[in-house]
């Protein structure tokens, strides 16, 4: 038996930090599903395969597995390389490919087998675990997300400006929300949490109180 808390939402809404803290507080395992799409984008880039040339056969050759919260691809632990801006863009591009989503569906479902888990992504409450016990849609205005990204400095290139970060966030929202398969959207039974103007602790407290 597993219990799933699904946390979905757009890029830069603070999902990862919040989901990790909620998992800690509840003593649940934590899985970041965006890292799976990023790992495939990273593997394609480092193998010299253009995103448009990714095939189901290429995917079958990759061995993706979670060992606890750590993601391994072909035996190598992937971490900081996945946070690079080009991996984020690549992940968003390849996540629109139906066979990429088909390939990652069982990887995500298997990761939740027999454990209590907080799983974070774009389609956890709508597609991966439509029967999840608790569902949250965590969002914030694009401007707020760009401000946070600018302040944190992570996942942006050295010459990034507020305007370029905002444009990147809007482009990623556009791609993630308008793809034909499993687009980013709030599940009907998900609780909407707009984090604009809220601190991380306030968001974590809100979600944990819904879960308890
Ligand atoms: O959460 P993230 O920024 O690491 O996700 C990177 C990209 O992966 C995101 O722009 C879209 C895709 N993704 C997805 O399509 N479905 C998920 N469950 C998680 C991520």
Ligand 1 center to 33 CA (angstroms): 7
What percent of the chain is modeled with pLDDT above 70?
100
Whose CA is closest to 189, among 142, 130, 140? 130
pLDDT-derived band at 1 (thresholds 50, 70, 90) equals low
pLDDT at 11 over 80: yes
Other beta carbons within 10 Å of 90: 21
What percent of the chain is modeled with pLDDT above 90?
87
DSSP 168: H
Average pLDDT score over residue span 132-150: 95
pTM: 0.94
SS3 content of the chain, % helix, strand, coil (to 5): 50, 15, 35
pLDDT per residue over 161-199, tens digit each? Answer: 999 999 999 999 999 999 999 999 999 999 999 999 999
User: Using CA positions, which residue lies closest to atom 20 of ligand 1?
Assistant: 34
Mutate to test the pocket of ligand 1, among 121, 155, 184, 187 (most ligand atoms within 8 A of CB): 121
Q: Is 119 helix (H, G, I), strand (E, B) or coil?
A: strand
Sign of CA dihedral 79, 70, 14, 142: positive
pLDDT for res 166: 95
β 76-78/70-73 pair status: antiparallel
pLDDT-derived band at 153 (thresholds 50, 70, 90) equals confident
Using an 8 Å Cβ cutoff, are 172 and 145 in contact? Answer: no
Span of 33-42, 113-122, 150-159 with lowest mean pLDDT? 150-159
Paired tokens of 81: 């390389």
pLDDT at 2 over 80: no
Domains and CATH numbers, the chain: 4-211 (3.40.50.300)
Ligand 1 site, residue 101, Cβ cutoff 6 A: no
pLDDT at 42 over 70: yes
Please give the number of the atom of ligand 1 that sits closest to the Cα of 172. Answer: 10
pLDDT-derived band at 87 (thresholds 50, 70, 90) equals very high
**Which residues sit opposite 101 in a β-bridge?**
none
In angstroms, how far is CA 151 from the centroid of its own chain? 20
Average pLDDT score over residue span 8-28: 95
Mutate to test the pocket of ligand 1, among 7, 32, 37 (most ligand atoms within 8 A of CB): 37
């Amino acid at each position: 038996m597993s219990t799933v808390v699904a946390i979905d939402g757009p890029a830069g809404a603070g999902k990862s930090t919040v989901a990790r803290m909620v998992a800690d507080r509840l003593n649940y395992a934590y899985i970041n599903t965006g890292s799976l799409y990023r790992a495939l984008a990273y593997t394609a880039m480092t193998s010299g395969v253009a995103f448009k040339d990714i095939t189901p056969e290429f995917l079958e050759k990759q061995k993706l597995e979670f060992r606890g919260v750590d993601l391994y691809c072909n035996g190598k632990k992937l971490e900081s390389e996945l946070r690079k801006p080009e991996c984020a863009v690549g992940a968003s591009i390849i996540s629109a490919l139906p066979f990429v989503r088909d390939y990652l569906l069982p990887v995500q479902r298997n990761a939740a087998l027999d454990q209590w888990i907080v799983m974070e992504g774009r389609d956890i409450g709508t597609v991966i675990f439509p029967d999840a016990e608790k569902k949250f849609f965590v969002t914030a205005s694009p401007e707020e997300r760009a401000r946070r990204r600018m302040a944190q400095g992570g996942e942006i290139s050295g010459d990034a400006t507020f305007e370029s970060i905002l444009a990147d966030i809007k482009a990623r929202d556009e791609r993630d929300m308008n793809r034909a398969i499993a687009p980013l959207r709030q599940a009907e039974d998900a609780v909407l949490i707009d984090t604009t103007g809220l601190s991380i602790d306030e968001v974590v407290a809100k979600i944990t109180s819904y879960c308890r």
